[in-house]
Amino acid sequence: MTVATAAEAASAVRAAKVSGISCRRSTSCPHLHLDLRPMHTIRFYQPGDLTVGADAGCTVAELNAVLAEHQQFVPLEVERPEITTLGAVLAQHLSGPLRHRFGSIRDFTIGLEMVAGDGSLVHCGGRVVKNVAGYDWMKPVIGARGAFGIITGVNFKVFPLPQDVERAVFSTLSWPQVEAFRSALLHSYLRPLAVELHARGEERSIEVVYCGSAAVRARYRAELGKLGAAGFSACALPAATPTVNVTYAAAEAVAALAALGAEVEIHGRLALGLYSISPRPRAFPGTLDPDPWPLLKRALDPDGIFHGDHCG
């Protein structure tokens, strides 16, 4: 069912509740599918107040195109901004490298509208940055994947659009150097846009993304150059879109996965202490990538106590 307004969405949920239609996927009974894509209106935009409100069906690209006219943006980082809706970003609590500077989506969402399970239209927060009406209720809704209701609208605090972005890349790092870099950065006066760690095998590098006037960028290069004197090597490169991810003190996890025959790739939001580890089964000569389950079985059950096809 396609809906064009929050009121239509609420009416559809109330009708489904009365008729007993399930809102969950099921093979035994029909379910209700609501398409909110027609809801893509910018509800309000106050550049001077740094606030904007939009329907949940509005895409990230549509929203930021409007904000860019005033050199502003909302730091929502997704792979396909032209098709990813604000409702999807909120439901999944998506974030990217810019979380280092601007926080997660929970930190700059100031108002939210949703349809609850009984079909009622619920509002929390408001349209101004300092408003606290129902503020905390937004926190569990964001990232709940629709468990509390269907998000139909959202209000954001907006930020100045970063200008003249550069990135410094530190390569060929040891794990102690990675930890030393993180500590030095957190105790410095620098406030970069993003700090990302990339690690694969014995190759480790850190990207520091920053922006500002010529004087500000010169200061970043000078301060980061001091780290270069301490054993790091860096180069300043233009960066159209900052890309970075996560890792701190992950050497133990890497060693454990490597012992299982996996090639490990790490991406990390270094200064935030967040990281994701992607194990990849290592291919043996003359074979395709091995089935990881026998490797895991031998590592965790070397005496062969447990049996079953799923154990290899």
Q: Around Cβ 282, how many Cβ atoms within 10 Å?
A: 15
Give the pLDDT confidence score for residue 253 in this predicted structure.
60
How high does pLDDT run on average in the chain?
Answer: 75
What digits encode the pLDDT tens for the residues 25-75? 444 455 677 777 788 889 999 999 999 999 999 999 999 999 999 999 999
Look at domain 6-160 and name its CATH class. Answer: alpha beta
Q: What are phi and psi of 171, to 5 degrees?
A: -120, 170
Looking at residue 261, the DSSP 8-state letter turns out to be T
**Which residue in the block uniquely carries the two structure tokens 């939009």?**
54
Q: So where are the chain's domains?
A: 6-160, 162-281
Task: Confirm whether 6-160 and 162-281 share one CATH topology.
Answer: no
**Amino acid of residue 133:** A
Enclosing H/E stretch for 199: strand 194-200
Q: Determine which of 132-136, 237-241, 295-299 has the lowest per-residue pLDDT on average.
A: 237-241
More confident of the two residues 205 and 108: 108
How many Cβ atoms sit within 10 Å of the Cβ of residue 272? 18
Considering the segment(s) 162-281 as one domain, its CATH architecture is 2-Layer Sandwich (3.30)
Distance CA 300, CA 305 (A): 10
pTM above 0.85, yes or no: no
Per-residue burial over 97-114, b if 16 or more Cβ lie within 10 Å, else e, is bbbbbbebbeebbbbbbb
Confidence at 266, pLDDT banded by 50, 70, 90 = low
